[in-house]
Amino acid sequence: MSSRSKGWTALFVILLVMVVDQALKIWIKTNMVLHDSIHITDWFYIYFTENNGMAFGIELFDKFFLTLFRIVAAGFLIWYLNKIRKDSNVRTGYCVSIALIIAGALGNVVDCLFYGLVFDDSVGHLATLFPDVGGYGSLFYGKVVDKLYFPLIATFWPDWMPFVGGEHFVFFRPVFNIADSAITCGIILLLLFYRRELSKAVDSDINKKKPIAE
C-alpha cells in the first residue's frame, strides 16, 4: 500500500474511534446520572462513572501533568506515524495499530481539556452541555467519562482462602471507555503481530544515540 493510502487509512481509524468515543460519552453525560447503569447482559453493563486518572481509572499523577503528558505523547505518536507511513517496508497494520493508540490518547485528551468547561457535573442530575452557569471545572481539569463494565465472573472467594475468604469477587472490575479500548487493542496488536517493526524502531533509536567512533 502506498504511503498516501496508509496515511488515509490511519486518519480514518483515528477519526472513527474519536467520533464513536465522543458520541457515546456525550450521550452518557446528557442521558445518565453519575453511577447510573444500564443492564445489557449479566456480564455487560453501561455504567456511568468518571475519573481523573489514566486508563481504567488508575490515578498516579497530578491531573494537569497527566493531561499534558497525554498531549505530548499523542503529538509524538502523530509525528512518528507520519514518518513511518512513508516507509515502504512498514506494513499498513502497524500504522493502524499506532493510529489506534493515537485515537485513544486524543479521545481522553478531549475529556481532560474541555469537559470541565462545557459540562456541569452529573451528581444527582443529568449534565447539561454548555450550561449557562459554566462548567464544573477548568481547562486541563475535565474528568474522563467511562462507561463499559464487563463483570464476567461475579462470585465469592472460598471461606478457606486466607485474608479474602468469603469476600465478594468480580472479574473484570475496571470500568473503561472506547478510547481506553483503542489504546489496549493497539498495544496488543503491536506485541502480537508487529514486533519486527517495534524492534526496528528501538534499534534505530539506540543507533542514533551511540557516539561516533573516532
Tens of pLDDT, residues 169-205? 888 888 999 999 999 999 999 999 998 887 876 665 5
Residues with a catalytic annotation lie at: 146, 180
State the residue for C-alpha cell 462548567. Answer: 135
Predicted confidence at residue 169, as pLDDT, reads: 80
| pLDDT of 56 over the 60 cut | no
Residue 119 lies in a domain: yes
| pLDDT of 213 over the 50 cut | no
Residue 173 lies in a domain: yes
Per-residue pLDDT, averaged over 58-87, amounts to: 85
Residue 213 lies in a domain: no
Residue 209 lies in a domain: no
Residue 180 lies in a domain: yes
Predicted confidence at residue 214, as pLDDT, reads: 42
What is the C-alpha to C-alpha distance for residues 188 and 214, in angstroms, rounded to an integer? 42
| pLDDT grade for 154, boundaries at 50, 70 and 90 | confident
Cβ neighbours of residue 77 closer than 8 Å, sequence gap 6 or more: 98, 101, 102, 105
pTM score of the predicted model: 0.86
Number of domains in the chain: 1
Residue 65 lies in a domain: yes
Residue 131 lies in a domain: yes
For residue 53, the enclosing domain spans: 3-204
Averaged pLDDT score across all residues of the chain: 88
The model's pLDDT over 90-100, given as tens digits with 9 standing for 90+, comes to 899 999 999 99
Residue 158 lies in a domain: yes
